[in-house]
Structure 1
């Protein structure tokens, strides 16, 4: 089978969405009997193989106007010329007008978030407001016009939200977790820190977490530092204030292997206001850590049934600080984490094959 995979938005610093492309690339390399054409906007993101062809479209990454025209009008001619059996779009919008079925992967939650509205009037929120309101309206319009294929999301919460905009079939499939990444980690270590691994986005809610942490008794802060994977400069840029509490450690970007090592002896704190999946939550459960997390729908869904988690209101600093005190009294999880989505990418491609066969 010939798959055409479209992801010309992703860059080499794109975090979670880059991981999705890399996972699909790994799947392609393992399935040498099929042929894959990747249409991307940045060089060296796709590892080559005899069954993999890469087409670079820098122009579509550099110009949002060109991308819109490609998705809604002109792109079908180009993609159809590649003679795919099925097309996979990993970038939240489908290429409309294709003559073969398409699997659309929607992983951007901002357009569907109702509990938090970003403002164009706040400088720190303008970028997110643009994605939530302008890009969000484009994604929703694209969903309404997409009629040839199916959609994949990572949570049932997203599936419920997307049903307001499309009648296409929606699959819930989470990315598979590579357990080999955890092979060197020792379970059962005593917690030494509070740890929040994340990027520097306003909706990650670092300020409320920091203020809640600072309200804890000095004795507790001396024993449990708060470790963040953003820099001091990033925090200052986001919130227009500096932070010099000696118990708060700004590590900046660190390798994933180091994230897992720190997490293996820490309490995971997850104050994010908006999420699709929340990979650190799954990582924390695999390592059987105590977790204090936001009481938003995606987080509750992902951690359902876990035996060492407590929730808080991410907008209420008192609620966060109370949860931090509560989680200190909780034991490490005694359950071995069972990933019900352990064959996630195989299931994804099974679904892709199914829509091709239906056609």
Structure 2
């Protein structure tokens, strides 16, 4: 069979991770099929027998729009190849291939959860678009009986309900997760007597950094001595997270928050071993990888009381769930993490790769 794979608009984030995992598993599933992979040139193009890459340098939004109805059609005409199956790794479908089977990997969970975003605020405009514009656009591209792949049962349920898709047309393929050896790495020396926490976040509105700010502010009223010793390390910087930075200054807790920017993998693992707790108040995630990483070290976690979190770290005794709007509850949980040290059994990752489910769906 000729299988077309579309990955032309993937440029950053989880989409690239999906693409790389797809390539890593492709050799063992390719069989006698021939894969034609249409890619953004920034993506790796690994040499695999039976795979041909067609590069599309699509940078502007206008060109991306044109790709759907012009550039792809023109390229297919030149190739003189008709697909038997079309696989989209980027949420959208393709009307121009309505006569063949289509498989869409949907990996944008923001539309599936409640959230209010202001299109007139620069920091929220892209969230507004993903919440309200994006789902309308992608739904129009899906052909009848398209098969969908999502990452968790939680997303499957929300996706099917939101888009009114039959559950039998939605399949779960949990992404590969790095197996972490908790014996590796070392305890990080902070060089002080403070209580250190980690907030792995790009500081988007739905990741609820304001919850941590107000929780610390409340702690100053309740236990100022303890509050003055709290240090929350953020995996972003003031330039990329100006709203978070301004709120920290506004609430007078600048001494408590440390912008680390991106943290190298080895140092991040050391941080997990050394912090008082991971703080993860995000209301929207597909998986929430930091929760799994911290749990692998037996690190305490304070996380949003949301369905995805309950699924991902189900059975881990070190997790505490809190409503992100209950700032007092977060303040109390942070205080408890400082005062109550205990040994927690690490969450062992024994999950096998589920990519076989994905490739099984590509069969005609």
2:238 corresponding residue in structure 1? 232
Residue 331 of structure 2 corresponds to: 321
- Once the two structures are superposed, the pairs formed by residues 35-46 of structure 1 within 5 Å of their partners are 35-46=34-45
Note if 1:303 corresponds to 2:309.
Answer: no
Q: Which residue does 2:348 correspond to in 1? A: 337
Listed as ranges, the gaps of 5+ residues in structure 2 are none
Q: Which moved more, 1:104-113 or 1:311-320?
A: 311-320
Change (3 A) 1:77 1:241: same
Q: What is the match of residue 202 of structure 1?
A: 205
Counterpart CA distance in 1 for 2:105 and 2:171 is: 9
Number of residues of Structure 1 aligned to a counterpart in Structure 2? 345
Residue 335 of structure 1 deviates from its aligned partner by: 4.7
**1:119-167 CA deviation, whole Å, 9 max, x = no partner?**
223332112111211112213334xx43244111112222122223223
C-alpha distance in 2, partners of 1:253/1:95? 36
- Verify the 8 A CA contact 2:278 2:300 in the aligned structure 1: yes
2:107 and 2:212 map into 1 onto residues whose CA distance is 25
Structure 2 counterpart of 1:293, from 277, 294, 303: 303
Give distance in 2, aligned partners of 1:117 and 1:82: 45
1:52–1:137 distance in 2 versus 1, CA, 3 Å: same
Counterpart Cα distance in 2 of 1:36 and 1:82: 11
Q: 1:265 to 1:74 in 2, by over 3 A?
A: same
The secondary structure found in structure 2 opposite 1:306 is: coil
Structure-2 separation of matches of 1:35 and 1:331: 54
**Equivalent pair of 2:6/2:89 in contact (CA under 8 Å):** yes
Q: Write out aligned runs for 1:274-285 (5 A).
A: 274-285=284-295
Q: Displacement, 1:108?
A: 0.5
Please point out which of 230, 236, 253 is paired with 2:262. Answer: 253
Q: State whether structure 2 residue 113 is matched by structure 1 residue 113.
A: yes
Which whole-Å CA distance do the structure 1 matches of 2:9 and 2:309 have between them? 26
Alignment RMSD (CA, Å): 3.2
- Rounded to whole Å, the distance in 2 between the matches of 1:181 and 1:88 is 34
Larger radius of gyration: 2
Q: 1:186 to 1:53 in 2, by over 3 A?
A: farther
Please report how far the alpha carbon of residue 291 of structure 1 lies from its aligned counterpart in structure 2 after TM superposition: 0.8
1:105 Cα offset (Å): 0.8
Deviations along 1:218-271, one digit per CA (max 9) or x if unpaired, are: 443455421110112333255644636233210012233332221222211101
- Per mean C-alpha deviation after superposition, the further-off stretch among 306-315 and 156-165 is 156-165
TM-score, normalising length: structure 2: 0.82
Evaluate the alpha carbon distance shift between residue 103 and residue 214 of structure 1 in structure 2; reply closer, same or farther with a 3 A threshold. Answer: same
Cα 1:79–1:178, aligned 2, differ >3 Å: closer, same or farther?
farther
The corresponding residue for 2:359 is 349
Aligned to 2:87: 88
Deviates more, 1:322-331 or 1:248-257: 322-331
Does the alignment pair 1:62 with 2:81? no
